[in-house]
Chains A and B, each alone.
Chain A
Amino acid sequence: KQEVTQIPAALSVPEGENLVLNCSFTDSAIYNLQWFRQDPGKGLTSLLLIQSSQREQTSGRLNASLDKSSGRSTLYIAASQPGDSATYLCAVRPYAGGTSYGKLTFGQGTILTVHP
């Protein structure tokens, strides 16, 4: 059974810092890994998706890396801003087909607070 762990559970930083969120998973047989952001009481916003064959993806100040063999992904946020405050979730997707299609396994999330 796939298990996804995110470290740290919470992070509080001053504005402007570069920071790293970590995600690890136990089963390396994944189709892709997706990072999401969730604001309080809201739905999930997709930030980055990394295919199992890729090593990293970038979007603006965000960079996500994937090391499938070691079961790890990191989300790097450059020059953090108060508007980045949210819960960040990583989710892995097993290989498509069979009964596993579409079943994302989420980590517990990292609650990020960026102080002005």
Chain B
Amino acid sequence: DTEVTQTPKHLVMGMTNKKSLKCEQHMGHRAMYWYKQKAKKPPELMFVYSYEKLSINESVPSRFSPECPNSSLLNLHLHALQPEDSALYLCASSPGQGYSGNTIYFGEGSWLTVV
């Protein structure tokens, strides 16, 4: 099973709303990632969690708040977003730091529209 599951698939939220995106994997991976992808652009890294600790924050605005409750789950909490934050949010996972052959597996993404 090489599946990364993301929910919801689509989310529409107002600029004053608070919502969360969820990601789950059961491959025993210890590194999990959030990427953001705008239309017709490649994905851009937002956050990396390694062994449930935040290891990379790519200077993401604080209105995006990641959380890793355990090694299988990754959340992205959203608050006071702007319309320009509308994008496809991709979760990914890989075996972990120090492992060679470190294929990164992506989920299907959550389409976010901020109105």
Q: Which residues of B contact A107 (CB under 8 A)?
A: 42
A12 adjacent to chain B (CB < 8 Å): no
Q: Are B101 and A51 in contact (CB under 8 A)?
A: yes
Q: Are B94 and A106 in contact (CB under 8 A)?
A: no
* Interfacial residues of chain A within 87-101, with CB under 8 A of chain B in the complex: 89, 91, 93, 96-97, 99, 101
B61 adjacent to chain A (CB < 8 Å): no
Number of residue pairs A-B, CB distance < 8 angstroms: 70
- State which of B43, B90, B103 has its C-beta within 8 Å of the C-beta of A49: B103
A-binding segment of B48-56, B62-70, B79-87: B48-56
Q: Which residue on chain B has the smallest CB distance to residue A46?
A: B103
Please, how many angstroms separate the alpha-carbon atoms of A96 and B59 in the complex? 20
Instruction: Report the count of interface residues on B (CB-CB < 8 A).
Output: 30
A108 adjacent to chain B (CB < 8 Å): yes
A108 → B minimal CB distance (Å): 6
- State which of A36, A41, A102 has its C-beta within 8 Å of the C-beta of B56: A102
4 closest A-B pairs (Cβ-Cβ)?
A106-B42, A44-B106, A43-B108, A102-B48
Question: CB within 8 Å of B: which residues of A?
Answer: 31-32, 34, 36, 41-46, 49, 51, 89, 91, 93, 96-97, 99, 101-104, 106-109
8 more A-B contacts (CB under 8 A) besides A106-B43, A107-B42?
A: A43-B90, A43-B107, A46-B103, A89-B42, A93-B102, A101-B48, A102-B48, A102-B97
